[in-house]
Amino acid sequence: MKRRRRIADIAVQRIDRLFALAEAEARAQVRDSDDDRREQRCDRYIHLARVIGMRYRVRIPGHLKIRICKRCYALLIPGRNARVRLRGEYITATCLRCGKQMRRPYKAARAPSVRMSKNTKS
């Protein structure tokens, strides 16, 4: 069990690192004239993060998952390839690459469930 948890921790660390690299590529894309290769590299980092998550059966953390388009899997950067609008009870993010609209509610994060806290004490 400890080995599985250690592998999952390493996988999540790698996913975090790949997202950081993708964001660095996206930010450098503004300054550079080599946009196409940087965009491909950014897409590759996101693809690798998804593959690692699937291979080791770990979820991509929620704060990172909301930054990926659910249709074309592009890294969403507001103002560059995503439009973010505040609606009545939700936030709408529109991917400008494929046109997919994703909605997230405003509501506050839920408290951890009782079942999860029981499992971690064992």
Residue range(s) defining the domain that contains residue 82? 76-122
Segments of the chain with pLDDT less than 70? 29-33, 116-122
What residues contact 58, with CB distance under 8 A and at least 6 apart? Answer: 8, 11, 12, 15, 52
| Per-residue model confidence (pLDDT) at position 99 | 95
Report whether 38 contacts 32 (CB < 8 A). Answer: yes
| Per-residue model confidence (pLDDT) at position 34 | 74
pTM of structure: 0.80
How many independent structural domains does the chain possess?
A: 2
Has residue 70 been placed in a domain? no
| 31 and 60 part of one domain | yes
Has residue 48 been placed in a domain? yes
Amino acid of residue 103? R
- CATH number of the domain within which 55 lies: 1.20.5.420
pLDDT tens sequence across 72-104: 999 999 998 999 999 889 999 999 999 999 999
Whole-angstrom Cα distance, residue 42 to residue 67?
A: 13
